[in-house]
């Protein structure tokens, strides 16, 4: 066992771990708060940093609060439940600022205060549980902080309210339905606007199953609307597996198979910000990584000409259905952004809206976006590091940042969403 050490936590890392200095080393210690005076042990050491384990707290930080979840510290889902929410917001603002300074080399960036979530508990509309057969039984739960072990759970305080019974019903159902499971799987629960649940069940390998069991389950459990099963290229559907999103008098058709934002109340604030930034005279707008077309149709509702691009074919199918449902006109294209953009090389766009995955924009896609020379861009990012990297290149090509506005989409975690508005000088 390594030596027992004392220290004071002075900050948080970009992944929500406490930071302190031990001689020349920066030590990362999970589940600590700035201002904590602690005993700890070094668990792993590299050349310039080390990882530590909290032994006990000698004096608690003023920022520390009792976690609400009984699994906190073991489950890998949340990192910040032990820190007051107001302090979480300050930390997330600093994370964005640090990324812009360190990665983007933009030390003078002005980052607005993080817009807080009205709901910082019971806000998630969907959660994913890992399914793993172990020692003759089925383990169903979240992945632990070791990134390997499955932690069975009966509740989750950041999942939408009235979910505990649904999780227990799901676990009972899966233990019967997947009795002979030999490989891993995932079970994603979606809460619909009608306060029912949809299950999206994904298995790694094909399995011989009793396909009557899901139908019986739905008949006996009124809180469940439908079940979608995917096993490789095989799909089965029971009940109703499509739902909808309503915003600003528009309705979008959505499915558990495609990406949708997990915090509807907070994402509505972002969509409002987008439409406010791009309102005014009619514009030609390119909406990249458009998903099911929420921002595309909100902009089309304002009278703009919108072209949306998305790699997921089902997302584009749903976007087109939603456009017809709402009586709106928008163009949607299926494919990777970098491969579709050359088809529009002669087109003129007043604005480009960019909402990429965590990895950010590929160098090829970003190069082709910049060749379009739109008058303005709105970039929405869920990863400060890749945002900073991409902004550095965009700003080097004649664009100037007008606004950097973070939003707290995932309270109790280190994740932060950031909207950036840029204009061509």
pLDDT digits (tens, 9 = 90+) for 348-406: 999 999 999 999 999 999 999 999 999 999 999 999 999 999 999 999 999 999 999 99
Check: CATH 2.40.50.140 for 1-64?
A: yes
The whole-number pLDDT of residue 331 equals: 98
Query: Fold identical between 1-64 and 126-239?
Result: yes
Q: Are 373 and 424 in contact (CB under 8 A)?
A: yes
* % of the chain residues with pLDDT over 70: 100
- 258-283 residue pLDDT tens: 999 999 999 999 999 999 999 987 88
Whose tokens are 């073991």? That residue is 74
Distance separating alpha carbons of residues 341 and 347, to the nearest angstrom: 10
pLDDT at 233 over 90: no
pLDDT for the residue 136: 81
Which among 75, 290, 382, 395 is annotated as catalytic? 382
Name the fold adopted by 126-239: OB fold (Dihydrolipoamide Acetyltransferase, E2P) (2.40.50)
Residue 232's pLDDT is what? 85
CA 242 to chain centroid, in Å, comes to 21
Q: How far is CA 160 from CA 119, 149, 156, 166, 219, in A?
A: 10, 24, 9, 11, 23
Q: Per-residue confidence at 345, pLDDT binned at 50, 70, 90?
A: confident
Q: What percent of the chain has pLDDT over 90?
A: 91
382 tagged catalytic: yes
Mean pLDDT (the chain) is: 96
Express each pLDDT in 304-334 by its tens digit: 999 999 999 999 999 999 999 999 999 999 9
Q: Are 9 and 73 in contact (CB under 8 A)?
A: no
| pLDDT band (50, 70, 90) for residue 135 | confident
Which CATH fold topology does 97-118+263-424 show?
A: Rossmann fold (3.40.50)
Q: How many CB atoms lie within 10 A of CB 363?
A: 12
Distance CA 94, CA 409 (A): 16
Q: Is the pLDDT of residue 1 over 70?
A: no
Tokens 């233990």 locate to 175
pLDDT tens profile 65-111: 999 999 999 999 999 999 999 999 999 999 999 999 999 999 999 99
Query: What are the boundaries of each domain within the chain?
Result: 1-64, 97-118+263-424, 126-239
Give every CB contact of residue 16 below 8 A, 6+ residues apart in sequence: 30, 79, 80, 91, 413, 414
């Amino acid at each position: 066992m390594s030596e027992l050490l004392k220290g004071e936590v002075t900050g948080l890392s970009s992944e929500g771990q406490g930071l302190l200095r031990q001689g020349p080393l920066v030590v990362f210690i999970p589940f600590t708060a700035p201002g904590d005076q602690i005993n700890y042990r070094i668990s792993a050491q590299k050349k310039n940093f080390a990882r530590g384990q909290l032994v006990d707290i000698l004096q608690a930080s003023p920022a520390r609060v009792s976690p609400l979840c009984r699994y906190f510290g073991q489950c890998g889902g949340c990192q910040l439940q032990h820190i007051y929410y107001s302090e979480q917001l300050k930390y997330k603002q600093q994370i964005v600022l640090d990324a812009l300074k360190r990665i983007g080399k933009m030390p003078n960036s002005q980052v607005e205060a993080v817009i807080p979530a009205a709901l910082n508990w019971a806000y998630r509309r969907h959660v994913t549980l890992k399914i793993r057969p172990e020692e003759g039984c089925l383990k169903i739960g979240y992945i632990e902080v070791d990134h390997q072990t499955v932690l069975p759970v009966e509740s989750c305080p950041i999942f939408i309210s009235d979910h505990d019974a649904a999780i227990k019903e799901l676990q009972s159902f899966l233990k019967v339905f997947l009795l002979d499971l030999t490989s891993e799987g995932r079970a994603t629960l979606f809460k619909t606007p009608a306060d029912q649940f949809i299950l999206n069940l994904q298995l790694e390998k094909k399995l011989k199953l009793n396909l009557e069991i899901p139908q019986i389950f739905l008949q006996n459990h009124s809180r469940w609307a439908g079940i979608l099963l995917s096993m490789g290229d095989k799909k089965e559907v029971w009940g109703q597996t499509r739902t909808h999103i309503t915003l600003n008098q528009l309705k979008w058709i959505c499915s558990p198979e495609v990406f949708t934002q997990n915090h509807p109340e907070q994402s509505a604030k972002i969509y409002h910000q987008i439409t406010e930034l791009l309102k005014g005279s009619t514009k030609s707008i390119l909406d990249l990584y458009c998903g099911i077309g929420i921002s595309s149709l909100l902009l089309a509702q304002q009278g703009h000409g919108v072209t949306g691009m998305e790699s997921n074919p089902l997302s584009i199918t749903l976007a087109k259905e939603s456009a017809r449902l709402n009586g709106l006109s928008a163009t949607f294209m299926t494919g990777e952004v970098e491969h579709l953009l050359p088809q529009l090389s002669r087109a003129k766009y007043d604005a480009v809206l960019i909402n990429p995955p965590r990895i950010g924009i590929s160098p090829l896609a970003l190069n082709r976006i910049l060749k379009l020379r739109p008058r303005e861009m709105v970039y929405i990012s869920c990863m400060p590091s890749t945002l900073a990297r991409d902004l550095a290149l965009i700003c080097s090509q004649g664009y100037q940042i007008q606004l950097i506005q973070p939003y707290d989409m995932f309270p109790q975690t280190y994740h932060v969403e950031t909207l950036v508005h840029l204009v061509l000088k």
